[in-house]
């Protein structure tokens, strides 16, 4: 994102509106005073607008951990009107390139409070492991192993579906 560009600033203002729809989840404790303050990205961060059908559905922010190279804190703000299933599908496909290009690990900080319960489940869905009361982590190698297992499972399911669809012809003597 180009935080100086008018188009991207308009998108960021829109994202701030999404965050205002659920301030306990997105804004409390974030340090943002208002939408204009939100336009300044965290230092060294990389931000991506996730789109579906050419419409923004989420803002994904990767904030580098200063003390360990290649480790990023993940921030995600979703459009409350967008399909969470579609967003998850898009993000799952995006994790591979993030690990291939620059990340060694990703983590999220999620308070142990009721409003974060769905988010904690979502972190587990993406393969993040709980490493402390509030921290979830996934490493590049764990992601790679999970992808291999998923590919093997998908191939086995495809084979099962094909075998059910293909009629077996036997020679009768």
Sorted by where each begins, the domain ranges of the chain are: 6-140
The answer to whether 37 and 70 are in contact (CB under 8 A) is no
pLDDT tens, residue by residue, 3-54: 666 778 888 889 888 988 888 778 765 656 677 777 777 788 888 999 988 8
What pLDDT is stored for residue 162 in this prediction?
Answer: 47
pLDDT band for position 136 (50/70/90)?
Answer: very high
Q: Position of tokens 């931000």?
A: 47
pLDDT band for position 160 (50/70/90)?
Answer: low
CA distance 159 to 54: 35
pLDDT tens, residue by residue, 93-121: 888 899 999 899 999 999 888 888 888 99
Token pair listed for 45: 């961060």
What pLDDT is stored for residue 32 in this prediction?
Answer: 65
> In the predicted model, what is the mean pLDDT of residues 138-143?
88
pTM of model > 0.75: yes
CA distance 123 to 166: 39
Just give the CATH number of 6-140: 3.40.630.30
What pLDDT is stored for residue 171 in this prediction?
Answer: 41
Q: Name the least confident of 42-46, 55-59, 114-118, 165-169.
A: 165-169
CB atoms within 10 A of CB 163: 9
**Helix (H) / strand (E) containing 105:** strand 105-109
């Amino acid at each position: 994102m180009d935080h100086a560009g008018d188009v991207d600033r308009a998108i960021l203002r829109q994202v701030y509106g999404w965050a205002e729809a659920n301030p306990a989840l997105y804004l409390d404790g974030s340090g943002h005073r208002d939408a204009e303050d939100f336009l300044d990205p965290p230092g060294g961060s990389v931000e991506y607008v996730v789109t579906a059908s050419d419409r923004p559905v989420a803002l994904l922010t990767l904030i580098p951990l200063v003390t360990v190279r290649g480790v990023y804190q993940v921030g995600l703000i979703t459009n409350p009107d967008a399909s969470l299933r579609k967003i998850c599908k898009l993000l799952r496909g995006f994790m591979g390139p993030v690990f291939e290009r620059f990340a060694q690990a990703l983590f999220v900080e999620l308070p142990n409070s009721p409003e974060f319960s769905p988010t904690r489940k979502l972190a587990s869905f993406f393969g993040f492991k709980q490493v402390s009361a509030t921290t979830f982590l996934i490493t590049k190698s764990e992601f790679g192993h999970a992808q291999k297992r998923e590919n093997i499972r998908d191939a086995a399911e495809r084979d099962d579906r094909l075998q059910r669809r293909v009629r077996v012809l036997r020679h009768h003597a």
